[in-house]
Amino acid sequence: METASVKDYLKLHFIVFIWGFTAILGNEMTIESTDLVLYRTALASVILAVLMKIRKRVFILPRKAVGYLFLTGLVVAAHWVTFFESARISTVSVCLAGMATTTFWTSLIEPLFKKQRVQAFQVLLGLVVIFGLYLIFKFEFNHAEGLALAMVSAFLAALFGVLNSKFTVKYPAYGITLYEMSAAAIGLLVFIPLYKSFVLETDVIYQLPTTRDWFLLLLLSGICTVYAFSESVELMKRITAFVVSLTVNLEPVYGILLALTIYGEEEMMSGGFYWGTLIIVLAVLSYPVARRIKRNRQSKKSRIITN
């Protein structure tokens, strides 16, 4: 692996900062969450296709892989819809507090897919996260629906992250993202008419974005999706996956600070909310650290046995 520079680490934090800004961008748009994600994924697909064409990247993947990627794309669509809807029915801060549980959900889902036992530390971590959520629910019960929706979004994010971990080993990252963004857009094209006709009972099927919405959508698709993704992949050539995953866990922190700066009193919560969020973030950050310590101990034991 190439040696990472200070500039690389600063760029990584900038990317995480950008991801923390996505809930705010979504909150500023006039269109509904389902339509927002439809336009975001469609625009991201077009931008990715153009970039891949220019850079002569591989478009065609095996048929079986395309089927799995299509299903994963539907999970991505559901994740983003619940994510943006959570921020709208509660606050950006509440949404990001719920999203801080993503690593916890990953620690439970990944062993199931890899047919491994859930470790005792993961159970302990889960109890700590639940305590943090209890504090948030206790002091911000009026935002319970938004927090619950954010936790569903976090679960879906963990699920598609685990699914993607199998694909990235075999297939190019740009190809994976293109197929998943396209699948998400196609899935929403089918879902939105059914949802709005039979559940919302409205005649307006697809909302048209305003001029300002289009500008925000271009930022969301081009900067927060395509740019941030491609740069994070490039940085992983020089920065270890452990450092990247550890830094990404700071997304809720950056997002909450941004929300407080932009919205001021609208985003102010009780002390219990911030204590609960801090407990969740610390628990999440402790997981990869503990995993790295355990791996180091195991490698030392194996070296002793070998010698």
The amino acid present at 95, given as its one-letter code, is C
User: Does position 180 have pLDDT exceeding 60, yes or no?
Assistant: yes
Per-residue pLDDT at 221:
92
The whole-angstrom distance between residue 13's C-alpha and the CA centroid of its chain comes to 15
Per-residue pLDDT at 288:
66
In order of 99, 153, 157, 165, the CA distances from 79 in angstroms are 10, 5, 6, 17
Per-residue pLDDT at 80:
95
* CA–CA dist 110, 114 (Å, integer): 6
The string of pLDDT tens digits covering residues 138-166 is 766 788 899 899 999 999 988 888 888 77
| Residue 4 DSSP symbol | P
Q: Count Cβ neighbours within 10 Å for each residue of 97-130 and write b for 16 or more, e otherwise.
A: bbbbbbbbbbbebbeeeeeeeeeeebeebbebbe
Output the average pLDDT for the chain: 83
Confidence of residue 1 (pLDDT cuts 50, 70, 90): low
The string of pLDDT tens digits covering residues 107-138 is 778 788 777 776 777 777 777 877 887 787 77
Mean pLDDT lowest for which of 10-14, 98-102, 241-245?
241-245
Per-residue pLDDT at 187:
96
Contact 78, 215 (CB under 8 A): no
The amino acid present at 307, given as its one-letter code, is N
The string of pLDDT tens digits covering residues 210-232 is 999 999 999 999 998 888 877 87
Beta-carbon contacts of residue 65 (< 8 Å; ≥ 6 apart): 167, 170, 171
Q: Please give the torsion angle defined by the CA atoms of residues 153, 155, 156 and 159, in that order, rounded to the nearest 10 degrees.
A: 160
